[in-house]
Each structure stands twice: as structure tokens, then as C-alpha cells.
Amino acid sequence: MRRALAGASHILVRQGQIMQPVRVEVISPLPEGWGVCLTCEAMMARANMGKAPYARGLEEYPPDWQEDFQRLSDLVLDLAARHGDRILIRIWDPRSLQGMFKSIRFGVRRYPTFVINGHEKMTGLDAALLEQVLRSQGL
């Protein structure tokens, strides 16, 4: 299998067949240490609002929030490791402009929410259910 870049999307070529990777958009609040979108971070830095992203850490959050974030991180990293080029994962913080737009567009009311290929939506951290939805979308 080889990868070619066509425009802004990735295209996979396997044995003469062109395959699009399954797109997974994860919409979930992220720890401040991860920062928000680059534009928002730049505006906040210029206005001297808060610490730099690297100075903020996960330890500032309650233990249950830390555990949920760790579970989300593990789930996303596992998906990326197992599926490689067959999956394209993007993570959006609903507090960023892009994340707020995605939340409104997809009608997200609870987090984390996974939007697969722009239309199939799943909320929560159930790895087995997510895998089932991914398979139904061609992964």
C-alpha cells in the first residue's frame, strides 16, 4: 500500500484501487496544556491572557477528568496505531472557533463525540462500539 497526496486529502492506493481513509473527527474539551487552535493561541498570547500552552498541565484538573482524558488519549492513539494510513483522525476542542463550528454543525451536546466520515456520530468512550461504527464505514 502506498500513500499519495491529492489536494488536501489523503488517498491510499492498494493493488491498483484508490481508497479514501476513514475520517474521524473527535470533538472533546482538551486540557489547556494542549492549547486551542493556533489562531486562538496567538490572540490570547498577544493579549497576555494566561500562561503559554507548555506551562499548563493536566494536573490542574480533577482526577476523574484526568482519567477520562487519559482514556480518550489511549483510544485515539490505539486507533492510529492499529489502522495507520487507513484512518485520518482530527481532534477538535469545542472551546476553539473550529471546534465550536464542528459542534454546532454536527449537533454535538455531549463529549467526547466521534464523527465518522462526516455523518455517523458516536458519543462516549466505548471502544467496541466505536470499532463497530468504523467497520460499518469501511475500515
Nearest 5°: CA angle at 22, between 19 and 23? 130
Q: Is residue 3 a part of any domain in this protein?
A: no
Which CATH number belongs to the domain containing residue 58 in this structure?
3.40.30.10
What pLDDT score does 25 carry? 97
The answer to the question of residue 9 being in a domain is: no
How much is the mean pLDDT over the chain? 80
The tally of domains found in the chain comes to 1
Question: Is 32 part of any domain?
Answer: yes
The answer as to whether 12 is a domain residue is no
Tens digits of residue pLDDT in 54-75: 445 667 778 888 899 889 999 9
pTM of the model: 0.72
Q: Tell me, yes or no, whether 89 lies in a domain.
A: yes
Which segments in the chain show pLDDT lower than 70? 1-18, 32-58
Task: List the domain range (segments joined by +) for residue 27.
Answer: 22-136
Tell me how far CA of residue 51 lies from CA of 44, 45, 54, 70, in angstroms: 9, 8, 8, 22
**108-119 residue pLDDT tens:** 999 999 999 999
The answer to whether 93 and 32 are in contact (CB under 8 A) is: no
User: Does some domain include residue 4?
Assistant: no
